[in-house]
Chains A and B, each alone.
Chain A
Amino acid sequence: MTPRRTQGPAWLRELRRRPAGIFGSIVIILLVASAVVSSFWTPVDPFYADPFHPWLGPSLAHLLGTDAVGKDIFSYLFLGSRTTLLVAAGSSVVATVVGIALAALGALTGRWLRETIAVIVDILIAFPVLLIAVMLTAVLGPSLVNVVIAVGIGFGVNIARVSRGEIRRVARTDYVLAARAAGVGPWRNLVDHIFPNIAPVFIVQLSLAAGVAILSEAGLSFLGYGADPGTASWGRMLHDLQNYITLYPLTAVWPGVAIGLTVLGFNLFGDALREATDPRLLAGSDGPMDRRSSRRRRKAATP
């Protein structure tokens, strides 16, 4: 019955109870699946141009038709999911590392270091994420890695700033003092008592970061600062198709819909995960234990 062992399934169960959680999970699973599959197989070579068959309509051979140079839109879109996933995951990892490191330093260290970090964070926040990305690519050349670094740092300082306030709020609570009174040292207190209580805010920030990362990559690639021509990317796709949007509007809709749904999926997933991991937000007055046992009872009743 140890609480820790029931924790994992508990939040997963809660996630499945929420429409937002289901939708977000499906989007993310689809994204991951198509990123993996498209790395090995696509219906048609996404970079194969067939100049004799441009602007084909949707058919069995070309599920979403072809573009101006006769490339298969579906295969390109399929492969583009890999870029999107890499950017979203990479940026989230960088943002988490930067955010947690800055927030922890800002919460635990002496006054001078703390204040210095706060000032640096505030200065960095003044620069829009996209601007940092454009500056970085201007110096280092366009590449996905630069997008990931720029968005990661840009959102990392955002997370650091939000978490700093949260950490300070939580660090002042009675239960953190009570934990110290029980013999908890500063680091364990941070990991066991403070982080779990800022996790809800953190999760939402992270899902926003993933969404913004996807949008930034799309926007930068659209502007020609992101993915290089050899990389399939939804933003680059929009860029290529925009000139013909009045003639063949449907073709530009696909990458647009893909980007929109993915960002929405990440955001809704974050919201649902926040609710599912916070025991105080669980629906019903009886909480998870009772729900689980009633679930068990239902299962027992229907063999």
Chain B
Amino acid sequence: MSLEISDLTIRFGERVVVDAVSFSVAPGERFGIIGESGSGKSLTTLAIPGLLPERATWTGSVRLDGVELLGLAEKELARIRGRRIGSVFQDPQTALNPMRTIGNQLVEPLLLHGIVGRRDHDERARQAVRLASLVKLPDPSRIVERYPHQLSGGQRQRVGIGIALAASPSVLLADEPTTALDVTIQAGILELFNDLVSESGTALVFVTHDLGVLAQVADSVLVLANGRAVERGTVAGILDHPQHEVTAGLVAAARLTSFDARIPLGGGDPADRRAEPAAEGGLS
């Protein structure tokens, strides 16, 4: 069992925003957390690597391979973040440092965790290109020298995924990684998640409000509403027999936006792969 969360409760002052949430994710498992905005799904994922805002307090337990993470010192957590737990953020426009090159940012986890020496420029360059091609960025050897503002949204999110996976973590957290992207780009990113998770065997925790998206990247799912876990099961089971009214609402919403939420797993629209590099003219 690689990641185990039990009775996780998060408060802002007196207000309980996440209420006794428990779940566990096995290596190689694709686990989805779904809920409407304000349901506490983002805070739950932030709590795992200890990235909650300063004013939040918490109780419960987050264990990674049996080691308790909640309450660890910042220094200890820094050693785990990026190395054992990778994180992908929602908005690729803001999650990359505008002043540093793509290559610089891709290899940062490797430098931080001592996998590649800071002075080993050749190895850094090699790793940057390796990671850029891992996340299927076009023209990897040139794109690593570019800056974030020179990339499209989909490309930036690929960089974000590359950073998260750079040091081969055992858990990959993704908090609404496709929400800020066009629908055509979304499918390609979801496909990338599927490919990388099946290749690396890392555990995936994928947070979204869109059941249609979740159906493409997760096997099991936890439904959150107002900070509580209201339903859990397989994606197929929840789509067919939603028990809770919130789940039923999410299923209805998914059917509205994607016509049929049960898009075949690992599918993705092949048109996206053509569309995305074409949208970025200057590279080839």
Contact = CB atoms under 8 A, between A and B. Distances in A.
A175 B94 contact: yes
Given A1-B125, A181-B51, A289 B94 contact: no
Given A182-B163, A286-B150, A197 B81 contact: no
Interface of A is mostly: helix
Which of A175, A183, A186 has the most chain B CB atoms closer than 10 A to its own CB?
A183
B146 A181 contact: no
A3 to B, nearest CB: 4
19 contacts: A1-B144, A3-B100, A4-B104, A5-B121, A173-B94, A180-B51, A180-B81, A181-B82, A182-B108, A182-B163, A183-B109, A185-B74, A186-B74, A196-B100, A197-B99, A279-B147, A286-B282, A287-B150, A289-B146
Interface string A187-199: 0100001001101
A178 interface: yes
B95 A197 contact: no
Contacts of A184: 78, 82, 108, 112
B35 interface: no
Interface size class of B (residues with CB under 8 A): 35 or more
Given A177-B89, A287-B146, A287-B147, A278 B109 contact: no
B62 to A, nearest CB: 15
B136 interface: no
B89 A3 contact: no
Contacts of B99: 196-197, 199, 278-279
B219 interface: no
A280 interface: yes
Contacts of A197: 97-99
A181 B49 CA distance: 7
Interface size class of A (residues with CB under 8 A): 20 to 34
B212 interface: no
B153 interface: no
A2 to B, nearest CB: 4
Contacts of B109: 182-183
B43 to A, nearest CB: 13
B218 interface: no
Which of B95, B109, B124, B144 has the most chain A CB atoms closer than 10 A to its own CB?
B95
